[in-house]
Chain A
Amino acid sequence: EPEVTQTPSHQVTQMGQEVILRCVPISNHLYFYWYRQILGQKVEFLVSFYNNEISEKSEIFDDQFSVERPDGSNFTLKIRSTKLEDSAMYFCASSSTTESYGYTFGSGTRLTVV
């Protein structure tokens, strides 16, 4: 069964450093997403991406965040200057349309900011 692959599985970074989280969505999917889950809290939407541009973003997705699909297969989330409160699980997801058959999520990257 096709999978969404995320790397690394765990990343530790110092406060103020830039991090890039990487995702390989399912190959024929057209919509890409990032969600995050702070420990013990709900899964929160960050951003959706379609046709090489952001289609929707949440209030969490401020200027320190950016997304990119640099080479037609990878989908990345960059956090420019990490803060302690950015520590969370970050989930990438993809879907073939906005409604059919649901999303496929990756297994996540645990980001720890120290």
Chain B
Amino acid sequence: DAKTTQPPSMDCAEGRAANLPCNHSTISGNEYVYWYRQIHSQGPQYIIHGLKNNETNEMASLIITEDRKSSTLILPHATLRDTAVYYCIVRGTSGSRLTFGEGTQLTVNP
């Protein structure tokens, strides 16, 4: 699975949009981009995933660049409860494991 690079930490004001970037320049054609988050030692929580089109669900939006080498997770109106470590993971269809990196610690400030 392709390696991902994320900033170690980010801050966001409550109510504002949080934009979390991820680089995955070695992604291959059949690999999906997944985003999970982990709130203080709880189990990781699935947020969203995509292949090449932008995706939106009730939690977030995922913007994938046309060349698929990077993506951005957008939390449109961040709340204090969105404070967590956010993981960007690239995974192919044939493998089963998720490989977690260090992720981005997002802190939402009041």
Contact across chains for B43 and A108 when beta carbons are under 8 A apart: yes
Q: A101 with B44: in contact, given A31-B96, A58-B97 (CB under 8 Å)?
A: no
Which stretch of B4-12, B14-22, B75-83, B99-107 is in the interface? B99-107
CB neighbors of A among B42-65 (8 A): 42-47, 49
Q: Once A and B bind, how many residue pairs between them come within 8 Å at the CB atom?
A: 59
Which stretch of A12-20, A43-51, A72-80 is in the interface? A43-51
How many B residues, CB 8 Å from partner? Answer: 24
- The B interface, classified by DSSP as helix, strand, loop or mixed, is loop
Contact across chains for B46 and A45 when beta carbons are under 8 A apart: no
Contact with B along A82-114 (1 / 0, CB 8 A): 000000010101000011011111111000000
- A interface residues, Cβ below 8 angstroms from B: 4, 31, 33, 35, 37, 42-45, 48, 50, 55-56, 58, 89, 91, 93, 98-99, 101-108
The 9 closest A-B pairs by CB, nearest first: A102-B46, A105-B43, A43-B100, A45-B97, A48-B96, A91-B43, A105-B44, A99-B93, A107-B43
